């Protein structure tokens, strides 16, 4: 006696994109589209969500604000421009790991404040020098 497979859906011997019902002794006329099993996904270790921060953006924003209050020799403005630019670059690099630009708006505001602070100091110096000339 031969051991025949139990009844059930199996790959159709005539068409591999279909499944045919095997009744335990012969193929029937019942067919359906083949249902592929979901792909096997390797188990991954549980990971904590990434807590991304953008310190450069925060420091750049603070320096941008400071450039409007205290800006000797444009130091605050220049540091604000540098740190804010680094914050923009860091925000763009965090897209891959977090899916978002972490604190990108803060870095841009810091950059704008720093540039505007530098322009305000240069304008004040220019007006002061203009008033000294006869």
Report whether pLDDT(129) > 80: yes
> Largest Cα–Cα distance of the chain, in whole Å?
120
Structure tokens at 73: 């020799």
pLDDT tens-digit profile of 96-124? 778 888 899 999 999 999 999 999 999 99
Structure tokens at 132: 């000294």
Could you state, in order of their start, the residue ranges of all structural domains in the chain? 1-34, 55-132
> Percent of the chain scored above 90 by pLDDT?
44
Q: What is the pLDDT of residue 114?
A: 96
Q: What is the pLDDT of residue 15?
A: 85
> Percent of the chain scored above 70 by pLDDT?
87
113 vs 37, higher pLDDT: 113
**If DSSP states are collapsed to H, E and C, what string results for 68-85?**
HHCCHHHHHHHHHHHHHH
Give the predicted TM-score (pTM) of the model.
0.61
Over residues 44-56, the mean pLDDT reads: 71
DSSP string, 20-71: EEE-SSSEEEEEEE--PPPPP-------PPP----HHHHHHHHHHHHHHH--
């Amino acid at each position: 006696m031969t051991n025949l497979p139990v009844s059930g859906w199996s790959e159709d011997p005539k068409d591999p994109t279909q499944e045919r019902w095997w009744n335990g002794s012969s193929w029937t006329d019942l067919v359906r589209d083949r249902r592929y099993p979901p792909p096997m996904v390797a188990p991954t270790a549980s990971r904590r969500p990434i807590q991304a921060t953008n310190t450069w953006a925060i420091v750049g924003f603070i320096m941008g604000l400071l450039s409007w209050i205290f800006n000797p020799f444009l130091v605050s403005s220049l540091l604000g421009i540098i740190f804010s630019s680094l914050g923009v670059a860091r925000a763009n690099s965090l897209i891959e790991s977090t899916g978002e630009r972490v604190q990108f708006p803060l870095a841009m505001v810091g950059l704008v404040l720093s540039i505007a602070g530098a322009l305000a100091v240069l304008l004040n110096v220019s007006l002061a020098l203009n008033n000294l000339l006869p």
